[in-house]
Amino acid sequence: MGYNLSKKGLDISPSVTLEITAKAKEMRAKGIDVISFGAGEPDFNTPENIRKEAIRAIEEGLTRYTPASGIMELKKAVCDKFKRDNNLEYEPENIVISNGAKHSIFNALMAILNPGDEVIIGVPYWVSYPELVKIAGGNPVYINTVEENEFKFTVKDLERVKTNNTKAIILNSPSNPTGSIYSREELEEIAKWAVENKVFVISDEIYEKLVYDDEHVSIASLNDAIKNLTIVINGMSKAYSMTGWRIGFLAANKEIAKVISNIQSHTTSNPCSISQYASVVGLNEDQSAVEEMRKQFKKRRDYMVEVINSIDGLSCRKPKGAFYIMVNIKELKGKVIKGVKINSSLDLAKVLLDEGKVAVIPGIGFGDDDYFRLSYATSMENIEEGLRRIKIVIES
């Protein structure tokens, strides 16, 4: 129509993954039995004590505006969580509660970026990072990582892309989509570099509870200098299976937290009051539901890694955290499967959907066309059947 729309808005890329998920949905609506490996959320119900507390909050009328940056009870529970899990000392003034971790990341970027500031992002990345940086007026700068180094970047990489405009790096450990975890030693080197170069670190730790082999270390816990430059992002979505409740939180130096709180007060105001009260219980009470979920994920991961590596043309490493596996498809590129020449991850995803009735997320959505991503946030039954179908199509 030729509307004169905002450059900012027009610069936002539509999600590449949407095409596949929309098609899978359409097929399902037609009654076709599609198995999806696309889920970005745990398939478990929110623990009962959290659900009950939400009902109590509604019944007792805790349904009004709260302070814009969150209720004091939840900020205190978040401080206790950081102390208990990450050995990090914060006070409620360091904490901002938002509408999901994505919103926390957005607020953090809005608080630190000026036009033209650069934010370093490792590839493959979580789909929203580049777009969030752009909306906040910054420029994403990419580091291509390799599978041999578990898709992790190093200080050498940071040195290579550093400019006078480098303002922040986004660190995501455990990672979506790779499941990689940065070790304490790797984080120490990155922290030293960030402090020397006065670069902020946005540390997205939303998958911290879903680690299977290594320990999770928060970069902010290494020393005070890096703590002051780090905005730690976390939330209820993945650990407590609360994706729809929309509670994320961040911890930052008080000066930064204040600016973030001001931004939030004029945009969304407080996150849902009911979800906030329920989250207090989630953080403070028995954590056995989280551990039970972690065990289930580990079992699924181990099974999937074994089966994927037994399929001709596919391979993967054992991811250490989150609930995703990046499957290497390099061997299949250029080959013909079911009459379709596979030139890209999207080509393969389409063949798997059309011929196998299996939805996978093409790696191009995460910036790396040599892979597709499988999520194991689905039942063991679905996993077994889905992998069986993938094998049949690919080995056909």
Mark 245-284 with x for binding to ligand PLP (rule: CB under 6 A) and - for no binding: ---x------------------------------------
3-class secondary structure, 303: helix
Q: Which stretch binds ligand PLP (CB under 6 A): 60-68, 97-105, 354-362, 364-372?
A: 97-105
Q: Which residues pair with 251 in a beta bridge?
A: 95, 232
Instruction: Candidates 86, 172, 261, 276: give the one binding ligand PLP (CB under 6 A).
Output: 172
Q: Which stretch binds ligand PLP (CB under 6 A): 57-65, 78-86, 95-103, 132-140?
A: 95-103
- C-alpha angle with apex 114: 111 to 115, nearest 5 degrees? 140
Interaction between residue 38 and ligand PLP (CB under 6 A): no
CA dist., res. 279 & res. 97, Å (int): 11
CA dist., res. 53 & res. 284, Å (int): 12
Nearer to ligand PLP, 332 or 359 (CB): 359
- In degrees rounded to 5, what are phi and psi of residue 97? -95, 130
Interaction between residue 237 and ligand PLP (CB under 6 A): yes
Interface with ligand PLP in residues 114-133 (CB under 6 A): 126
Mark 200-229 with x for binding to ligand PLP (rule: CB under 6 A) and - for no binding: ----x-x-----------------------
Using CB atoms within 10 Å of the CB of residue 97, give its burial: 0 to 12 exposed, 13 to 18 middle, 19+ buried. Answer: buried
CA dist., res. 204 & res. 113, Å (int): 17
Instruction: Candidates 243, 253, 309, 344: give the one binding ligand PLP (CB under 6 A).
Output: 243
Q: Which stretch binds ligand PLP (CB under 6 A): 15-23, 100-108, 110-118, 259-267?
A: 100-108
Does residue 314 contact residue 308 with C-beta atoms inside 8 Å?
Answer: yes
Interaction between residue 94 and ligand PLP (CB under 6 A): no
Q: Please state the closest distance from residue 172 (CB atom) to ligand PLP, in A.
A: 5
Does residue 382 contact residue 358 with C-beta atoms inside 8 Å?
Answer: no
Instruction: Candidates 57, 95, 96, 101: give the one binding ligand PLP (CB under 6 A).
Output: 101
Per DSSP bridges, beta strands 230-235 and 35-36 are: unpaired
Tell me the Cα Rg of the chain. 21
Instruction: Candidates 81, 102, 317, 320: give the one binding ligand PLP (CB under 6 A).
Output: 102
Q: Which of these, 170, 76, 188, 185, lies nearest to 125 by C-alpha position?
A: 170
Nearer to ligand PLP, 237 or 328 (CB): 237
Q: Please state the closest distance from residue 199 (CB atom) to ligand PLP, in A.
A: 20
Nearer to ligand PLP, 238 or 317 (CB): 238
How much of the chain is helix, strand and coil, in % rounded to 5? 45, 15, 40
CA dist., res. 90 & res. 71, Å (int): 16
> What does the binding site for ligand PLP look like in residue numbers (CB under 6 A)?
40, 100-102, 126, 172, 176, 204, 206, 235, 237, 243, 248
